[in-house]
Structure 1
């Protein structure tokens, strides 16, 4: 009798060992087939488990093992959308667990040439498409609520790094950008804009010109001071970057390279050509850095009305208070341009 009991116990243990080994192999052994240390998979909103299997198939060695774990852990009926991290050597158990844990996306943007370019950048980093973004941000109700126009819409977006989940909706993106906009302008900046008799959108627009005029952040307050002096004197801004923008906008060729503004360029009939119009253009020509916005809000106080690129200190400018002084500086620059082979 004892021998029979011993045999039964041994048999049970053996079955247990075999079953345990089977389960360990099914659940806890490596089940990936990619060489890189980690990959990200993106599961769209509304996906079912069959769609998930197609998405992860290129990265999984044995889908049946994942199937078994997913069914036992209730994942097949509770699929999550989002961006998910898979690491090399993950087991089926770890894969299913990771598919429950969406990872956040660092959405960063700055220096965008236009709203369309901005939407393309956003859509490349989160789930909403360009069309979905346009439907939210360019509709008349949204523009009216935020006192924007299609020309000033870019001013709504403050360059920064934002954190979202990949499957964030376009509506929730708008809420986040609204909070950042309010935070940015409530930090004393709105009051400074009022002190300049300008709206935030006008400050942003002028900052876009200042940014394009000089890459030197330290020089931006001085350049901003020139343009503010011109606005006060009711003089046209005569900003070359606005002419370049106008030429590209009128031609529809945003990729053309314009190294030197020609006299023909100055004739382009556009509300963005500040050689032809007084005051600010209808909206920004670029998404400026925060340093350029702050340069407009904190301009250098001086009596300069003119500036021209320096031929002695490249990347910087020479400034003048009188037109006669400016002509001397501009002549040096014009002669330098001619030597480079550029035609004006």
Structure 2
């Protein structure tokens, strides 16, 4: 009888324990589920959380609030406190997607698993424009990059000067992290530059008796002149003929650049008189720097120029974007008159 009573008491205790477990579980498990596993993002499509360099935890929370990224902020803060997120998060650009839970978000911020930025640039006229465009996609401000490009000592350490430093940037599409610093961005672009100027391209530049920087400067003129890509090798050959013969390049795009007036459609004598090292009507040889960021096609057009005897060119009078080329001055003047008459007929005076 005693054994029976013991068994009955044990059973009651076991049942009580199970009941307590069930009650506690019913109370705790939903909280644990909400804290760790339940979807907690208030977005219908991928949205980004930007955490600036040197941001504090309150700034992170403010950004989450402003963008209304979470459904239940309290459950996120609870897990964040458990994981000591306030001292462990990393800066960057983070994708917040529909269905993500707190654990996934926290793991991403602690590990620094940010999404890279796609940065593309080409045919940008001025380095100031380039810096502004880069800063729109990346964290650093344009001034910080300009200060590097204008630092003679800094760019000299990479083999450039403040005039030709713009030739270092090869137009293409790149992936990098949003919070890259201006200096690290410069270093990355220098690596891409060295990769671009492989042994084959360096050998071709050497055969032209030009440095990679000079090839790019000439390519910037070629790219500015050529509205049709297939004319690039011809135009490159023309300017190389002039350089070899010691004839001034007399390239209209350099005059427009020297005058800093990119609305000019008709280069006049007053423009030609502009005192500037970039005015190739007044100065022999190449300008000190590029007049735009030339395309890779233009750079390769210089390296693979077309051999011919042309030393003059003039836009065709049909405004097709093509040019009339000439080997002598009389032929060139005839071509120029046809184009000038076409400009007059269209009342293009400047």
Q: TM-score, normalization: structure 1?
A: 0.91
1:334 partnered with 2:340: yes
Alignment of 1:273-284 (within 5 A): 273-284=279-290
Structure 1, residues 135-172: CA drift from partner, whole Å, max 9, x if none? 43332222322332221110121212222222223332
Q: In the alignment, what sits opposite 2:193?
A: 181
Structure 1 unmatched runs, 5+: 249-253
Contact 1:266 1:273 in 2 (8 A): yes
| Structure 1 residue matching 2:93: 3-state secondary structure | strand
1:29 partnered with 2:38: yes
Find 2:311's aligned residue among 296, 305, 309.
305
Contact 1:136 1:171 in 2 (8 A): yes
1:259 partnered with 2:265: yes
1:227 partnered with 2:239: yes
Find 1:315's aligned residue among 321, 326, 338.
321
| Structure 2 residue matching 1:274: 3-state secondary structure | coil
Q: In the alignment, what sits opposite 1:73?
A: 83
Q: In the alignment, what sits opposite 2:59?
A: 51
Q: Which one has the largest radius of gyration?
A: 2
1:154 partnered with 2:166: yes
1:210 partnered with 2:216: no
Distance 2:348 2:269 in 1: 12
Distance 1:137 1:272 in 2: 19
Distance 1:83 1:138 in 2: 29
Distance 2:159 2:108 in 1: 43
Distance 1:313 1:113 in 2: 23
Q: In the alignment, what sits opposite 2:5?
A: none
Q: In the alignment, what sits opposite 1:251?
A: none
Distance 2:299 2:180 in 1: 29
Find 2:124's aligned residue among 87, 112, 133.
112
Structure 2 unmatched runs, 5+: 1-8
Shift of 1:204: 0.7
Q: 1:265 to 1:313 in 2, by over 3 A?
A: closer
Alignment of 1:135-150 (within 5 A): 135-150=147-162
Q: 1:146 to 1:11 in 2, by over 3 A?
A: closer
| Corresponding residue pairs, total | 337
Distance 1:334 1:140 in 2: 43
Contact 1:115 1:153 in 2 (8 A): no
Structure 1, residues 63-108: CA drift from partner, whole Å, max 9, x if none? 2221112122332220111110001343222322332321122222
| Structure 1 residue matching 2:42: 3-state secondary structure | coil
Structure 1, residues 152-196: CA drift from partner, whole Å, max 9, x if none? 110121212222222223332232222222221223112211111
Q: 1:327 to 1:135 in 2, by over 3 A?
A: closer
1:60 partnered with 2:59: no
Q: In the alignment, what sits opposite 1:95?
A: 105
| Structure 2 residue matching 1:41: 3-state secondary structure | strand
Contact 2:41 2:98 in 1 (8 A): yes
Superposed CA RMSD: 1.9
Q: Which structure 1 residue ranges, 4+ long, deviate > 6 Å from structure 2? A: none
Contact 1:48 1:79 in 2 (8 A): no
Distance 1:155 1:191 in 2: 18
Distance 1:77 1:312 in 2: 67
